[in-house]
Amino acid sequence: MRAWVARSYGGPEVLALREVKLPQPGPGEVLIRVEATTVSSADRRIRALDLPAGMALMGRLALGLRRPRRAVLGVELTGRIAAVGAGVTRFAPGDAVIAFPGFRQGAHAEFAVMPAAGMVVARPACMSVETAAALGFGGTTARDYLRRARLREGERVLVIGASGTVGAALVQLAIAAGAIVSAVTSTGNVALVQGMGAAEVIDYTGRDYTAGPDRWDIVADAAAALSFRTALPILAEGGRYLAIAGGLGDLLARRRGSRRPIAGPAAERPDDLAALADLAARGLFRPPIDAVFPFDALPAAHARADTGRKRGSLVVLLESPSR
């Protein structure tokens, strides 16, 4: 099969399209023929070894000292079951599925193996492959952070970086949970974020949202724009700062009175992926798509991610969409 392989850390040019061995599903596993995947901010960070402040050494130890230990990147995909391993009854060949390899990676290939009982769910018949491919990364991150924050109905939530993959998921999932959402973005993305249903959209180029009288129960920072210390003035009593793109300082931060920081990697839970598929099928969550690329142009998607200006997900199609 063909797969994009990261030969070293660096720019998109380190990626090479190679013929690699077709994986085979073992007991309890499924082989998925990939129809679409994405180039996420996680893929870009791993490929470039561009990690949050203070995380470089830990990142190399976890990801690989000189090159990515898992050479085939890609954290989310959609496709069809090509084969099943012994003991698998949940899926059958031909089933359309959504999968989230997450830290396992491996989605930038024509086939991927996943545990059948893991992060694999049926793809709703009404869902496009573009939406299905982009469902997992932003959605699971947002759900995990909002769960850890114990979001309650009626709370005020500020989402910073609302036009990104994770930020857009935070806006929509917080609204679906009954929160009152203020969303921060740039001028060119105001209309996009307004379409997500935020109660207030703040253009940070024209308004300093940290300088006014507003206070929020949750500040969800998907852009590393603040830190727990600089967010304190805009946190209400009992407020939580979500350092989604935070560095070592955010991991080490400690609560101040009733206000507390939440940081660290998001958990990968199969029930989150199933919930996201259900919300998307009901029209309550739709990941925005910045651009769609053919598989042979996957490095161009990485180059787009490197600009820092993408709006939502960069989808990569391996074949003509099937719906």
| Residue 65 CA: distances (Å) to CA of 62, 84, 176, 201 | 8, 34, 41, 42
For residue 29, the surrounding DSSP H or E stretch is strand 29-39
- Decide if 280 is inside a domain: no
For residue 96, the surrounding DSSP H or E stretch is strand 96-99
Amino acid at 167: G
pLDDT at 321 over 60: no
- Residue 283 makes CB contacts below 8 A (sequence gap 6+) with none
For residue 31, the surrounding DSSP H or E stretch is strand 29-39
CB atoms within 10 A of CB 308: 10
Q: Are residues 88 and 112 in the same domain?
A: yes
Q: Is 145 exposed, middle or buried (0-12, 13-18, 19+ CB in 10 A)?
A: buried
pLDDT at 322 over 60: no
Task: Give the residue numbers spanning the domain of 57.
Answer: 2-135+287-317
- Decide if 268 is inside a domain: no
Q: Are residues 129 and 150 in the same domain?
A: no
Q: ∠169-317-221 over CA atoms, to 5°?
A: 20
Q: Are residues 165 and 254 in the same domain?
A: yes
The answer to whether 47 touches 9, Cβ cutoff 8 Å, is: yes
Q: Are residues 102 and 187 in the same domain?
A: no
Q: Are residues 95 and 153 in the same domain?
A: no
Final residue of a structural domain among 262, 278, 305: 262
Q: Which pLDDT does position 220 carry in this prediction?
A: 98
- Decide if 275 is inside a domain: no
CATH number at 210 reads 3.40.50.720
CATH number at 47 reads 3.90.180.10
pLDDT at 292 over 60: yes
Q: ∠104-54-238 over CA atoms, to 5°?
A: 90
pLDDT per residue as tens digits for the range 119-170: 999 999 999 999 999 999 999 999 999 999 999 999 999 999 999 999 999 9
The count of structural domains within the chain is 2
Amino acid at 265: P
Q: What is the arithmetic mean of pLDDT over 264-291? A: 95
**DSSP letter string, 260-296:** EEE-SPPP--HHHHHHHHHHHHTTS----EEEEEEGG
- Decide if 278 is inside a domain: no
Mean pLDDT of the chain: 94
Q: Are residues 105 and 148 in the same domain?
A: no
- Decide if 53 is inside a domain: yes
Predicted TM-score (pTM) of the model is: 0.93
The answer to whether 188 touches 246, Cβ cutoff 8 Å, is: no
- Decide if 322 is inside a domain: no
Q: Are residues 83 and 161 in the same domain?
A: no
Six token digits for residue 13: 């040019």
